[in-house]
Amino acid sequence: MRQFLKQIFASLIGSLAGLSLFCGLGTIGLIILIIAAGTQDSTPQVKDKSVLIFDSSLNITDTDPTSSTGDAIGQALSGEESNTITLRTVLNSLEEATQDPRIIALYIDGSHSGGGSTTGLATLKEVRAAMEKFRAAGKTIIAYDVDLSEREYYLNSVADTLILNPMGGIEINGFSSEPLFLTGALEKFGVGVQVIRVGKYKSAVEPFLLKELSPENRQQLQALLGDIWGELIATVGKSRKISPQQLQGIADSQGVLMASDAKTRGLIDKVAYFDEVITDLKKIAGATEDEKSFPQIRLSTYAEVAMKEGNNKSSKNKIAVIYANGEIVDGEGGPQQVGGDSFAKQMRQLRLDNDVKAVVLRVNSPGGSATASEIIQREVRLTRAKKPVIVSMGDMAASGGYWISTYGNRIFAEPNTVTGSIGVFGMLLNFQKLANDNGLTWDVVKTGNLADSQTVSRPKTPQEIAIAQNIVNQIYNQFLDKVADSRKIPKPKVAQIAQGRVWSGSDAKQLGLVDEIGGLDEAIAYAAKQADLGDNWQLEEYPKFRSLEERILLKLTGDKNSRSQKISDPLTREFLKLKADLEILQGLNDPKGVYARLPFNWRID
């Protein structure tokens, strides 16, 4: 029935989008009334001895991604939950549950993970830390799954009792990164590529120039993966009372273990079926065998209770958390992008708002446009002159993401955050051979040697390359100067640790690129302390997201955003990786064609 309602109302909204605005506006009230009637529900109740259910398939993100309005309405009417939840929601709910005497246990449910979530490891570390506090308060954590990847095992290993289905298994074979190189395809189709860059580790251009990793890129990837893997086996080993060396031995000799082997090696506590886990949870909650279930509440539902019942601070003093989530692009940007102009405007509003006493800049970005990064950084510096600006780095805050972070009063990162990548590049494409091979030619009339220097009809001349390289060099030097000035590191040392090289958060702290290891909560607490607010403050998050009603209006007037679907078959996944790499090119809109960005296809498998 839920799926039926979703399809009906998604189709309805799609049809309404084609109506006139007058008719559409007349229909909005009706739709909103239907939604209100369909979603009116009593406040969720938390029973005594309840188990908090955490669905391990949830994707935890910094911000709530834009989904299609039709899906949102279908979801609202059917009561079906989104598969995405924000980090703040998870952390707040776990903190509230830790203090709530009605919540006696946490159940990490992997019974319908469907391949698991795509949540980043640094984000999972913050969630894991909150779960550790829950457990330290004397409450029980039970985890159940069928198959566990390293990412899932990293979180589930926090449990008092970790249970695996008898047909299940654990993948623990280490991390790998397998970049895709487009060079051969570009050569085959006659697309010419010329590159200008500074920094021997600035590997973002390698997929367009080489057919395999450069020695420098291989070196930095090996070191970064080593740091992230080392953090994982150290953290998991501490919880499971297994040495990192033992875990490394398992990874090197077995890689994938069936449930029985995993129990023998101490990786899990119990092998059982889902119904047996439910029986155990009934006992924990004090339910009898005759009862069909036990007192429970899903984390997303409990979040509503926590918001209504919790000790929500109300104060004129605000701490603003502003999210830089996604590719940094010139202009206004779009969904999952950080627009230089729009983000700077938001930061400026926070600077001028006297009620905002401190700003936490949460960065989860691989970088992008150097121009947009500088526009944002300027506003960060101006804001810092009036009030504390504390930076919290998420899964990645590199290149342009580091550019906008470097002037924070204090920078927090997780040990497995990907950061650094202080370097810049430019990429110049031409389609001369592709066109000529298909009978297309160009000719030109011009009033100066450089009048057609931006053309894609031919390769750039040595003079044009030299001019572009000079611009890249200047911007790179500006980047070095800014890091040296903001971090109080001599420029020669900055030049040594820059070169476009990526670093883990733990290495970045040793190098002085970040100040403290910690997550978003630690950054917020530090901001309150720096602003001397004590407990007299209230948290607000930016940018503000549109309500469902506003999204309906946008849909009726031409909103074309749609939610992507998760694909599981290997062939389609590889195709989507290629598609994602090519889509990144659409975000390369810097007016100078110069970028401070991580490698295009950075992934950990």
How do residues 481-496 score in pLDDT, each as one tens digit? 999 999 999 999 999 9
More confident residue, 397 or 38: 397
80-89, 108-117, 245-254, 422-431: which has the minimum mean pLDDT? 108-117
Q: Which one of 6, 125, 202, 555 is the catalytic residue?
A: 202
Looking at the domain covering 2-173+254-309, what would its CATH class be? alpha beta
Q: What percent of the chain has pLDDT over 90?
A: 66
477 within 8 A of 492, measured Cβ to Cβ: no
Structure tokens at 432: 């001369």
Residues 49-61 pLDDT 10s = 999 999 998 999 9
**3-state class (DSSP) for residue 297:** strand
More confident residue, 112 or 504: 504
Q: Which long-range contacts (CB under 8 A, 24 or more apart) does 475-484 make?
A: 475/370, 475/424, 475/592, 475/594, 476/198, 476/199, 476/423, 476/424, 478/374, 479/370, 479/403, 479/422, 479/423, 479/424, 479/596, 480/422, 482/377, 482/403, 482/406, 482/407, 483/402, 483/406, 483/422, 483/513
**3-state class (DSSP) for residue 106:** strand
399 counts as catalytic: yes
Question: Which distant-in-sequence residues (6+ apart) come within 8 Å of 569 by Cβ?
Answer: none
Average pLDDT (467-479) is 93
- Phi/psi of residue 519, nearest 5 degrees: -105, -160
Domain ranges in the chain with CATH number 3.90.226.10: 2-173+254-309, 318-440+453-546+593-597
- Residue 89's pLDDT is what? 94
Structure tokens at 94: 């776990």
Check pLDDT > 90 for residue 22: no
110-114, 290-294, 565-569, 600-604: which has the minimum mean pLDDT? 565-569
User: Which candidate, 229, 59, 217, 188, places its Cα nearest to that of 600?
Assistant: 217
Highest mean pLDDT of the ranges 72-86, 334-348, 564-578: 334-348
Average pLDDT (408-424) is 96
Q: Which one of 157, 399, 421, 486 is the catalytic residue?
A: 399
C-alpha dihedral (472, 473, 479, 484), degrees to nearest 10: 170
More confident residue, 264 or 576: 264
Average pLDDT value over all residues in the chain: 85
- Residue 226's pLDDT is what? 96
Alpha-carbon torsion 258, 261, 263, 267, what sign?
Answer: negative
Residues 551-592 pLDDT 10s = 555 445 444 443 334 444 555 555 565 566 656 656 666 666
Superfamily (CATH H level) for 318-440+453-546+593-597: 2-enoyl-CoA Hydratase; Chain A, domain 1 (3.90.226.10)
β-bridge pairing 389-398 and 410-413: parallel
Q: Cα(453)–Cα(435) distance, rounded to whole angstroms?
A: 18
Residues 586-602 pLDDT 10s = 666 666 666 677 665 55
Place of tokens 């009417």: 77
- Residue 545's pLDDT is what? 60
- Residue 64's pLDDT is what? 77
202 counts as catalytic: yes
- Residue 562's pLDDT is what? 38
Predicted confidence band of residue 180 (pLDDT cuts 50, 70, 90): confident
**3-state class (DSSP) for residue 210:** coil
Question: Which distant-in-sequence residues (6+ apart) come within 8 Å of 163 by Cβ?
Answer: 142, 143, 144, 145, 268, 269, 270, 271, 272, 277
Average pLDDT (291-301) is 90
- Residue 82's pLDDT is what? 67
User: Which candidate, 265, 253, 247, 257, places its Cα nearest to that of 167?
Assistant: 257
